[in-house]
Chains A and B, each alone.
Chain A
Amino acid sequence: MATLTKAAVPSQEEARPRFAFLRNERVLYGLLGFVVLLGAWEAASRLGLIKTSLMSSPSRVVEIAIDAFGSGEIWPHMWISFQEWLFGFAISLAIGIPIGLALGWFRKAEALFGMLIPAFYSTPKVALAPLVILVAGIGFEAKVVTVVLLTVMAVMVNTMMGVMAVDKRHYDIARSFGASRWLTFRAVALPTAIPFILTGIRIGMGRALVGVVVAEFLSSTMGIGFYITFSGAVADTTRVMLGILILGIFGVIVGELIRRVDKRFDAWRPGIH
């Protein structure tokens, strides 16, 4: 009996272990997966299964990373890419969400522009790059425009789908009680759309990162995309890998932040938390 009670109510020491975050299965397995992957990469390069000159190895990347962060060579690149990403992503949300809501809500708007959406959605936006350079030049603005072009549709279409996914019965309830159009939008359409909007944001986040790299590949003298192409051009594969890793880690961090926001809207959805 005594042991049972102890197990049910952990003592103070047990409640605060040194590595509390490892208790979280998600974090634990996430880290484990990362370590396994790195270990395999290191082993493969040490055993000569892959050419270190082409694929580098984790230990070399760490070595170079310490150097790159220590000397400060990487910081300006990260900072400029981050700004391009942030501006492009924020503008995409500011444009994509309201327009998506409007397209989903107003049938006439959807009828007018609905046909254009798949056309624009399926066009490889990279194909617009020459146009972007002509219109916006090759500076910071051009990068932001490219990011927006790559991101905005995912946000917009998901938002629109969200509003269109409203259960007809829920509209009936609002109408039955005489809800105004505005109240129906707030009480029915928006709550239905929010999970979709969050999905759009999650997809858009990644698209924006692609946009940053694409824009910098095309023309730039700064940024992580530039860092990767430049290092590639001088056959410095370790720095290429470092750039890719930075992008990946950034994606994970932002993804995790979005997941946190997500949770705040999830209280009413069973089985998600």
Chain B
Amino acid sequence: MTDQQLALSARDVRMEYRNLTTRERFVAIETFSLDINEGEFVSIVGPSGCGKSTFLKIVNGLLDATAGEIKVRQTKAGRQDAMVFQDSALFPWYKVVDNVAFGLVCAGVARREAEQRALPLIKLVGLGGFEASYPYQLSGGMQQRANLARALTVDPALLLMDEPFAALDAQTREIMQVELLRIWNADKKTVLFVTHQIDEAIFLSDRVIVMSARPGKILADIKIDLQRPRNINVKRTPEFQKYEEQVWELISSQLQSAAGQFGGS
């Protein structure tokens, strides 16, 4: 594995917070190291509060790590990375097309041209015909499609996804998982996907990283050997269920230890 092939390389990332009222420090992430190859789809799962979203924000530059080093490969065109946020991440005062074009406008592209370049991405995510709709006129699933399109328009070398389907109902979520794989198949971007849904992580990914409860460390790095392209039926296969059990056991051990910590309360 040479350096060139790495889309992301994180070394010993540590994140500490200080509670402003109690002045107590707590460690959100501890010695977190992760390499992602170009074109790889990697998911991070872990109990809530384990710092998986925090790690994503550090990669994106929204947060500064206390220590450690993160390298994201720079491509010639497009942004280094782009984030697909959790729910309600569209500007309610912008139409779909303006929301999707926003990333390009940020990059200094003229609004008219940015809108032109947003159109094919809107089609790709299945929102053709809704370009002039406002977010409140869209369902949650459609909003997340626009959210995804906005990140794709800036052509990022690394696509970061922060529990993008967490707020959707179970059926819409499954549809969106299939849709995401279809869109991903088009140009096989490198994806770092954070979720608390085990089946979602396994279904989508080449590798699933399991994190411990806080302070977040890597418990396991599981390679998912399921043939691509995958369809939703793969979730019913014994191989898939074996992966699910494996991940679930790791996470439930964490939940028990967390429950032990709070046992007195």
Q: Do A and B bind each other?
A: yes
Binding site for B on A (CB under 8 A): 169-170, 172-180, 183, 187-188, 191-192, 267-270
Contact B91 A187 (CB under 8 A): yes
Give CA–CA (A173, B84) in the complex, Å. 9
Chain B residues whose CB sits within 8 angstroms of the CB of A188 once the complex forms:
91
Contact A178 B93 (CB under 8 A): no
Contact B88 A169 (CB under 8 A): yes
- Provide the B174-203 mask, 1 if CB < 8 A to any CB of A, else 0: 000000000000000000000000000000
Q: Which of B82, B105, B136 contacts A268 (CB 8 A)?
A: B136
Nearest-neighbour CB distance to chain A for B231, whole angstroms, equals 32
Known: A173-B89, A269-B136. 18 other contacts (CB 8 A): A169-B85, A170-B91, A172-B85, A173-B102, A175-B61, A176-B61, A177-B106, A177-B107, A178-B79, A178-B106, A178-B107, A187-B94, A187-B105, A191-B93, A191-B94, A267-B134, A268-B94, A269-B92
Say yes or no for B62: interface residue by CB 8 A criterion: yes
Q: Which of A175, A176, A183, A191 contacts B91 (CB 8 A)?
A: A191
Chain A residues whose CB sits within 8 angstroms of the CB of B105 once the complex forms:
179, 183, 187
Chain A residues whose CB sits within 8 angstroms of the CB of B92 once the complex forms:
268-269
Contact A270 B85 (CB under 8 A): no
Say yes or no for B172: interface residue by CB 8 A criterion: no
Give the B interface residue count (CB, 8 A): 23
Looking at chain A's contact residues, is the secondary structure mostly helix, strand, loop, or mixed? helix
Residue of A nearest to B137 (CB): A270
Those of B84-120 within 8 Å (CB) of chain A: 85, 88-89, 91-94, 102-103, 105-107
Binding site for A on B (CB under 8 A): 60-62, 79, 82-83, 85, 88-89, 91-94, 102-103, 105-107, 134-137, 154
Chain A residues whose CB sits within 8 angstroms of the CB of B135 once the complex forms:
268
Q: Which of A170, A179, A191, A267 contacts B106 (CB 8 A)?
A: A179
Chain A residues whose CB sits within 8 angstroms of the CB of B79 once the complex forms:
177-178
Nearest-neighbour CB distance to chain B for A192, whole angstroms, equals 8
- 7 pairs of residues in contact across A and B, judged by CB atoms under 8 Å: A173-B91, A177-B79, A178-B79, A183-B105, A187-B105, A191-B93, A268-B134
Give CA–CA (A178, B61) in the complex, Å. 10
Contacts between chains A and B (CB distance < 8 A), count: 55
Contact B106 A174 (CB under 8 A): yes
Residue of A nearest to B92 (CB): A268
Chain A residues whose CB sits within 8 angstroms of the CB of B60 once the complex forms:
176
Give CA–CA (A188, B94) in the complex, Å. 10
Chain A residues whose CB sits within 8 angstroms of the CB of B94 once the complex forms:
187, 191, 268
A169-B89 in contact given A174-B106, A176-B83, A270-B136 (Cβ < 8 Å): yes
Nearest-neighbour CB distance to chain B for A194, whole angstroms, equals 8
Residue of A nearest to B108 (CB): A180
A177-B91 in contact given A187-B102, A267-B134 (Cβ < 8 Å): no
Contact B103 A175 (CB under 8 A): no
Chain A residues whose CB sits within 8 angstroms of the CB of B106 once the complex forms:
174, 177-180, 183
Give CA–CA (A187, B134) in the complex, Å. 15
Residue of A nearest to B104 (CB): A177
Give CA–CA (A179, B91) in the complex, Å. 14
Nearest-neighbour CB distance to chain B for A135, whole angstroms, equals 42
Give CA–CA (A176, B58) in the complex, Å. 11
Chain B residues whose CB sits within 8 angstroms of the CB of A170 once the complex forms:
91
Residue of B nearest to A167 (CB): B88
Residue of B nearest to A265 (CB): B93
Chain B residues whose CB sits within 8 angstroms of the CB of A269 once the complex forms:
92, 136
Residue of B nearest to A170 (CB): B91
Give CA–CA (A188, B90) in the complex, Å. 11
Chain A residues whose CB sits within 8 angstroms of the CB of B85 once the complex forms:
169, 172-173, 176
Nearest-neighbour CB distance to chain A for B65, whole angstroms, equals 16
Nearest-neighbour CB distance to chain B for A173, whole angstroms, equals 6
Contact A175 B62 (CB under 8 A): yes
Chain B residues whose CB sits within 8 angstroms of the CB of A192 once the complex forms:
93
Residue of B nearest to A188 (CB): B91
